[in-house]
Each structure stands twice: as structure tokens, then as C-alpha cells.
A and B are shown apart, each in its own frame.
With several copies, the nearest count.
Chain A
Amino acid sequence: MSATEAELAEFRSDVSAWMADNKPADPGFLLPQTFMEVGDERQLEFLREWQHKVWSAGYLGMAWPKEYGGGGVEPVFQNIADQEMRRHDVPICFNVIGLGWAGPLINDIGTEQEKSKYLKGILSAEDIWCQGFSEPEHGSDLGNAQTRAVRDGDEYVLNGQKIWTTMGNFAKYMILLARTNPEAQRKYDGLSFFLSPMDVPGVETRPIRKITGEYGFTETFFTDARIPADCLMGEEGQGWSIAMQTLQYERGAEAGAAGGLAMVRVTVEDMVEGLEGVERDGAPVLEDPLVRDQLVQAIMDEKALVLSVRRTGIAHLTSDYPGALPLSNKLRASELTRRMRQLAINLQGGEGALYVGDDTARQGGFWQRAYFNSFSATIGGGTSQIQANIVAEHVLGLPK
């Protein structure tokens, strides 16, 4: 029984009203644009409270089962709620690894016990989740993870190191990729997947200071850390396949994610509006023909990305190189973001040399910090260089 257009419209209007009424006031400090930028307790508690409020109002996890804290309705409602969050420019729902990775996975393949134990805490923001895939020596090469998990009775003993653990210092649980069988013929077959507690002896986190000067990630060290054997998800040796499955949920509620605004979208329009009052040669910078040409190119890039998502569903327009649009999306979106933010700084004239912490910095130094943070997307999850290889090999069929 599908929702009617009228029901959806009414729902949209309800969410919109709620967001308008409940959007938090400016806290007086720069809020994270993504969950990777939660650097201190102050930001954490602000975001925890906000997510809890959204969930309490019924606008998060709407398509998850009711018995585990969800709303039990069709995903389309969550999509609408997400759109309204974006439209109202509210803060993010920051427990992203829980909402978008661990949660959907547990919903899909978890045991009854796992569902009861974990799902609600993810939605309510009581339990923060982090992700332990990357390792220092194998940045882009997940399949080569070396962190060991050795079965010892009804426990696994963990040893090794993870890096880029977002909110590792705040998280209660980690989805962890670890090697249970170093002898497996294919390196992928030696990996297993765990829902692993962070608060056991032998797990230590060390915050990583980012290029922005702020925090947001940790290194995570395992030294004979013991976790219950039932933290294993699926069976030993299935780790790679489960990890790959996990990466599929990011696409939103339809794919099983709990929803919520995962990042603040920043557009060329924001940049253009942010340039108000900036002058070049004594006239508004937006009147400079070279600047205008650059902005038009940025707008075109941005619009092309939106259009390419629209086009993805039209078979006739995607038949030549199937996969070209989805597989190149991360590469293009992240590179556009980087370029655009660098441009935004350059267009500020002298003010471009200011930074977060200077009261007179344009929008509090937002663009400067955003430029630096943009590298998390051009580097993390496979660098742009690797993304280009993937497109070349998987879409165009070029040799490795």
C-alpha cells in the first residue's frame, strides 16, 4: 500500500514546519559540515542533542522496523524528510557510520539479538559508531588489512592499528575489518567483519590533528584487546564481502540507510552569495569578466552533476558506458568541491589570507576551512587517482 501524493505532500508540509520551528540557533561556533569534522565535545553534544530531537520527532530511521526504534514506513517518507532538512539548512545527523553503514547492515543480515542491541542506540545518537577499515600502511588498499583477530575460546584477541577512525574518540562501537586467517590464498578471504566495542581494555585512540588545525579522526590501536566472539558478523572469511556490502548503503533510504542529513551541501550559489562586498579593481568582483567565466564553469560543473544523477535512471541515455555516471560520481563531486573551494578563497582578494579565528574573515573562514577539509573526499575512500583508474578499468575496459 503506497502512500498517496496527498499524504506525501501533507507529510512534507509537516516536516517543513517542524524544521522551521526547531532549527537550532547559531551556537556561536563553526558547526561541522560533515561528520568527519566533529572535533570537540562541544560540537559533539550539540549534534547529539539535535539528532536525538530529530529522531524523537519521528524524522529519522523512518523506514527501519518499529520494534527497533524505527518508523516502519516507506523509504519515500525518509527521503522527503531528508530533502526538507537540506532545504532548511539544519545541522547534520552526525552518527553517520551508524545510520548509513552499520545500521542498514545489521537490519539486513544481523541476528535478532544484534538488532535489539544496536539499532535504537544508533538512531537516538546514544551509541556513536565508528569505522575501522583503513590502516596506515595500506591507505587505499583495504583488502590488504593486517589487523589481526585471533579466536581464543569465546573471545577474539585483536592486535593492530587502524587509522582515519572518524570520531574514534567518541564512539562506543566500531565496524571492524580484521584478518582472521593470514594463510588464506586470496588475501580477501582471510578477512572477517566485527561489531566491536571500543570500551574494552587494549583499545586506545589517539586523535589526529587535521590540516585544518582541528580534530575529527583518530588512530586506533589494538593491543591484545579481547572482544566477545559473538561480535563476529556472519562467518569468518566473509569480511571483505560484508565490507563491500556496507559501502552500498550510502545511497540513502531506498538502500536501507536510516536517513538524516549527512553533510551540509555547499553550492556555487553559496560561494557567489558569500562574495558580496568583495571588490576587484574597485568594482564588485562579480563584474570581473574572468571571474564570471570561472563562476559559470563552476555552475556548469555543479549542474552537470545534478543532471547526471537525473539521467542515471534513463536507460537510453546511459547505455553506451553503463556505470559511467555512478562510478565517476565520487571522483567528480569531490574534485569539483575541492576546485570550487579553492576558487572561493582566491576570489576573496586580500581576505582570502585570513583564517578561522579571525573575526573579520568572510563567513568566519568557512571557505578556507572547507577547502582544506575537501581533501578528505579526494583522498579518503580511494584517492581521485585511484577513482580514475576504477572508471578507466571498469567503465572503459582499459587494462590495469
Chain B
Amino acid sequence: MNLVGNTDLAFSEEQAMLMDVAREFCRDKSPIAAVRDQLETDTGFDAALWQEMAGLGWSGIALPESVGGSGLGVGALVPVVEAMGRAMLGTPLINTALAAQLILRSGSSGQVERLLPPLVEGGIATLALLDNGDWGADGLALRLGEDAVLTGSKRFVGDAGVADIVVASASRGGDAVLVVLEAEQLAGRLRPNTLIDQTRRAADIDFTGVQVEAANIIAGDRVAAALRDVRLCGALLVAAEATGSAAACLDTIVEYLKTRKQFGKLIGSYQALKHPTVDILTGMEDARSFVYHAATLLGEDNLDRDAEVACRMAKAQASAILSYAGDRAVQFHGGMGFTYECDAQLYIRRAQWTQQAFGDAQHHRKRLAALLLD
């Protein structure tokens, strides 16, 4: 038994460069005022900004050079996503990247060559994994019939309203398959969600009666593993983003604690605020350690046990600390924290969304217990 196990942690030149660029880009292009401007728009993001990001090559970071990507793998996306989380920048990058990974990891070469290049160019994709709200559910409720017609629906499909393609998991005669659907096939089938995190958009999709083109069905042995991998990658990317948001939330708290006075003293001098803020710092730093540890272990192959452990720890830690940070941010801002105007609301809302996405902290700890203790 080796419970602590693998503790590799490396950071490549490419990651460093991407981090520098992404931090600067997000800081310049996505100040909080710009984030707020998007809260009540239909799409939740600025299309021009998204095209700029694609222009920087971010959509292709994790995709092979053969389809126009940079071939750096999902690990290289982590610093970019963390920077986006820090700026609370709403974009379809994570969903597009994960949908692309599903295709890359299980599609035929023909599918890969056809479907991925547009995504590198700024196309938007998303993935539909959840039949209900249970990330721990086995089995797939969405059915693909022998006639290639779907029966069932999916919930909480991120960026569904703007996606050019939706990759959905389904069951065909008991086997897991993926189906790729074009936006026009889904017209009128989306029921937009109202999310607690107003920087995000999602929708439930009713697929019943949709006919899937044969070329858009991905089947075979690799599908199940790809689904597993991509759920773990999703957990990691959401964790990375949440870590960035937690750091930004911490900054917001610290700034207030250094300037607000009560009873004649700066409130940051009170240990009742100071010490929990230190807990946020150390919890956020732990999340970051797990995130970059996991990024270190990701490769092009299927994720091994160490990588799985790392991704789950990253998500468990990041979910927990962002929940705590968001909650404390509201509390520590006092009356101001109770207003919509205060940025604390952005983080507490993001925290609630993050908690659920790709499984909450308890979900991952339960899986970790099986991995580590059995």
C-alpha cells in the first residue's frame, strides 16, 4: 500500500508561456465589469473575444497537430483554464475541449479529421453526459435505436445554445456509444436552464425522435474508456477553473479586509476574519497543487490510476475550497456582501455551480476511497 503514492509535479515551458499569455489576456479583456455585462446576455460570452481566443490557438492546445492543434495535451490547457477562472471569463472553451477529447479518444480517423478541425478554428462544441442530476449513476438512459433514432433527453448541457455540435453519450443495445448532433438537428429541442452561476449557460435537450447520421455515431471499445477519461478531464478542468476563481475570490476578500474599517479598526486585523482567510489561501494552494499534479500525469493515453486519483483529488479540493471561499466572501463583506453589486455574489454562485459539475467533493472522495483503500 502506498497511500500518498505518485507525487510528480512538473511544469513545462509551454505551460509557463500559456499561463503568462492567458493571465494577461484575461486580465485585459475580462475585467469584472465585462463579466457583469455578460450576466444577462443570451450566450454569456463575447463572441469576438471567443474568436480572439481561438486565434491564440487555445481551442487547439489539447488537440494533435494533424487536426491543426498544438499537440500539447489536456494538461497544457490547465493554466489557460485557471486564468479564465480567475477572471470569471465565461467561454465555451472547456466544453469545446472536452467534446473534442471525446471525439479524439474514441472516434474513427475519419470522424477525427472531419469534426475536429472546425473546433480548432473557433467552432463550438459541447458534451451531453447527464441523464439526470446524478454524476454517480451507472448506465445510460438516452437510447439510440437500431434505426439510429434517439429516445430520451439530457440535462444541464453547457453552452448548448451556441454549440455547433453536441456530443452525447447514449446506449445502443446496451453498449455505450457517442452521437454527434449538429445544431440544426436540435432546433426547438433546447430548454434553457436558469443557472445559479449567471456567467454560464446550459440547457436540457430532448433528443427523442432525432435521427443520427451514421457518420456521426461513434461506437466501439474505446467509447467507454473515452467517457471515463473525459469525465475525469472535465473534473480536472473545472477544478483548475475553480482554483482560479478561488484565488480571485481570495483577492477580493483580502482587498476588502485591508480597506474596510469597523469600530475604528481595519477589519482585516480581526482574527475572526483573518484566520479563515488564511484557510482559504491554504485550501486554494492545495487545490492548485492537486490540479498541476494531475496536469502532470495526463497524457494522450487513457488515464491511469495515478491520474484518476489526481483528477478526483483536484476536483474534491477545488469544489470544497471555492464553496468555502464564496460563502466567506459574502459574510466578510458584511452588508455590502449581501448586495448584487458586490463581487462576492459572483464567486458564491460560481461555487455552487462548480460543486455540482462533474461530481461533487463527496462523490470524488467516495471514488478515491475505493481507489486508495480497497
A–B contact with Cβ pairs below 8 Å: the answer is yes
Name A's B-contacting residues (CB within 8 A): 134, 136, 138-141, 163-164, 208-213, 267-269, 272-273, 278-282, 286, 289-293, 295-297, 299-304, 306-308, 310-311, 314, 316-317, 320-321, 324-325, 328, 331-332, 338, 342, 345-346, 348-358, 360-361, 365, 368, 371-372, 375-376, 378-380, 383-385, 388-389, 391-392, 395-400
Selected contact of B196 from candidates A136, A208, A368, CB within 8 Å: A368
- Chain B 268-300: CB-based contact to A (< 8 A → 1; otherwise 0): 111111110110011001101110110000000
Residue among B79, B352, B355 having the largest count of chain A Cβ atoms under 10 Å: B352
CA distance A317 to B345 in the complex (A): 27
CA distance A310 to B293 in the complex (A): 10
Known pairs A267-B3, A272-B1, A303-B290 / 17 extra A-B pairs, C-beta < 8 Å: A210-B338, A211-B338, A281-B134, A281-B136, A282-B134, A282-B136, A300-B286, A300-B368, A311-B289, A349-B133, A349-B134, A350-B130, A375-B337, A378-B331, A379-B334, A395-B281, A398-B269
Whether the Cβ atoms of A279 and B132 lie closer than 8 Å is yes
CA distance A111 to B249 in the complex (A): 52
Q: Which residues does chain A contribute within 8 Å of B337, judged by CB atoms?
A: 211, 375, 379
Whether the Cβ atoms of B196 and A355 lie closer than 8 Å is yes
| CB under 8 Å from chain A, chain B span 55-90 | 79
Selected contact of B7 from candidates A303, A353, A378, CB within 8 Å: A303
- Could you pull out 8 A-B pairs where Cβ atoms are within 8 angstroms? A209-B340, A211-B330, A212-B340, A269-B3, A299-B372, A310-B289, A321-B285, A388-B274
Whether the Cβ atoms of A316 and B19 lie closer than 8 Å is yes
CB distance from A174 to the nearest CB of B (A): 18
Number of interface residues of B (CB under 8 A): 93
Q: Which residues does chain A contribute within 8 Å of B254, judged by CB atoms?
A: 396-398
Q: Which residues does chain B contribute within 8 Å of A303, judged by CB atoms?
A: 4-5, 7, 290, 313
Whether the Cβ atoms of A304 and B277 lie closer than 8 Å is no
The closest CB in chain B to the CB of A356 belongs to B194
Selected contact of A355 from candidates B130, B195, B339, CB within 8 Å: B195
Residue among B20, B155, B194, B250 having the largest count of chain A Cβ atoms under 10 Å: B194
Whether the Cβ atoms of B9 and A292 lie closer than 8 Å is no
The closest CB in chain B to the CB of A380 belongs to B335
Whether the Cβ atoms of B323 and A342 lie closer than 8 Å is yes
Chain A CB within 8 A of B41 CB: no
Whether the Cβ atoms of B365 and A354 lie closer than 8 Å is no
The closest CB in chain B to the CB of A314 belongs to B11
Q: Which residues does chain A contribute within 8 Å of B138, judged by CB atoms?
A: 282
Q: Which residues does chain A contribute within 8 Å of B35, judged by CB atoms?
A: none
Chain A CB within 8 A of B187 CB: no
Chain A CB within 8 A of B45 CB: no
